[in-house]
Amino acid sequence: MKKFTHRASIASLLLLSAGFLAATSAHAADGQVSFYGKIVPTTCSVDDDDLGIGLPPVSANALPEVGSVAGRTPFSLSLSGCTVGDGNPATVAVLFENSGNVDAASGRLNLDQGDNAASGVQLNVLDSDMNRIPLGAQTGANTKSVDIAADGTAKIDYFTEYYAEGDVKAGDARSRIEYSLMYN
């Protein structure tokens, strides 16, 4: 009887091993992802890295329905000290990060909450051609590159505006977003 149990155990082990081999082959690689990049010696400096943009006061009546916009205001990010030539990046772009105030569904900025905060309003950020930028999109879809000048400067122009996303109630309209510079 012991011989039979021993043989059954060996047979079970062989079957179990064959199962592991079959499972291993079921997880064979279908391809690979290669990562590549470049480390640059020096990046640009933002002339005013904590920029405050004052939007004009607008009446709640100026935003009568969802999709209404008002108070379009220009702003720029000015860069200096960019290393140019010798294989250094020739263009720079801004990636608006997916920070806490970004509404992931709309790609717009939510307003800060508080006792005196407006409601029913978000902020759009537009590129220099006045196309809305989907904030927080990590696909590069929200970037527009500009050339770095021979003197190591660059200026990236934007606009912001109020956007009615619901029933607008008067109050303070404050928000913020983090950004990163991307070089090419």
What is the full per-residue pLDDT of the chain (184 aa) written as tens digits? 444 444 445 545 445 555 555 555 556 778 888 887 777 766 799 998 789 999 999 999 999 999 999 999 999 999 999 988 888 889 999 988 888 899 999 999 999 999 999 999 999 999 999 999 999 876 555 578 999 999 999 999 999 999 999 999 999 999 999 988 888 8
Residue 99: exposed, middle, or buried by beta-carbon count in 10 A (0-12, 13-18, 19+)?
Answer: middle
Does residue 68 lie within any of the structural domains? yes
C-beta of residue 110 within 8 angstroms of C-beta of residue 174? no
Does residue 14 lie within any of the structural domains? no
Does residue 161 lie within any of the structural domains? yes
Does residue 136 lie within any of the structural domains? yes
Does residue 94 lie within any of the structural domains? yes
Does residue 1 lie within any of the structural domains? no
Does residue 157 lie within any of the structural domains? yes
Q: Which two tokens stand for residue 181?
A: 């510079």
| Count of domains for the chain | 1
pLDDT value at residue 32: 84
Q: Indicate the pTM of the whole model.
A: 0.77
pLDDT value at residue 147: 96
Give the CATH number, domain containing residue 95: 2.60.40.1090
Domain containing 177: what range? 45-183
